[in-house]
Amino acid sequence: MDLPKSVLEAADVSAVTQLILRERESRDLGRWDRMRDCFWPESQVRVSWYRGDGAGFVEGSIDMARRGVLAKHRVTPILVNLNGNRAVAAMPSIIDLPVKLHGIELILSAHARFLYRAEKRADLWRLVGFDAIYMRDELTPAVPGHSVTIDPKDLKGFRPTYRLLAYYMTSQGYQVDPNLAGEDRPELVAAMNAEVYGWAGINV
């Protein structure tokens, strides 16, 4: 007996949701083989510190962990939009990085909306794309009562939606793209949405 379309779509939504959660958990817990298995070979990742395929993103994440840049992710409910064997999923998230500036331990929190492109091939969902739209970031002391001062001149040239993240990552030797999609540049956000959802044939 053929299952109703609504049941099949619900199964696909669940599969895409679990795929995304598996990728993020694997990233945070250092389960690199499992993370690598979440991406199709020709996948594309575009985030603050990396641009390339999924396999390279995993290798970059391994290197980042070895260098002591131990990001963790606070995730929220995922909205999945299906169109046949393609799907786009949006997930607001907070990236938490334990950092040390001027001898003070801090938590750098970057607020972003992640966009995932997933495709089903031979009944298997894997990621084709992973992008981020940046909203804002902040620094808070790891120990209450401590504080740190950053000279505003040191932040000049960094975008307001991810300037603290760019400042820190640059200090660690990473190159941060100054033209990422961010809420301070709505035309870049619109272009990102058009590209990502257009790939799946979904109107936004």
Average pLDDT, integer, range 39-49: 97
Which of 3-7, 17-21, 141-145, 171-175 is predicted least confidently?
3-7
172 within 8 A of 128, measured Cβ to Cβ: no
pLDDT (tens digit per residue) in 50-60: 999 999 999 99
pLDDT cut 70: percent of the chain above it:
100
Per-residue burial over 123-160, b if 16 or more Cβ lie within 10 Å, else e, is eebbbbbbbbbbbbbebeeeeeeeeeeeeeeeeeebbe
Confidence of residue 1 (pLDDT cuts 50, 70, 90): low
For the chain, the structural domain boundaries read 5-199
| Mean pLDDT of the residues in the chain | 95
* Residue 108, φ and ψ in degrees, nearest 5: -95, 120
State pLDDT tens for residues 66-103: 998 889 999 999 999 999 999 999 999 999 999 998 88
Cα–Cα dist 32/35, whole Å: 5
Q: What is the C-alpha to C-alpha distance for residues 64 and 66, in angstroms, rounded to an integer?
A: 5
Tell me the CATH number for domain 5-199. Answer: 3.10.450.50
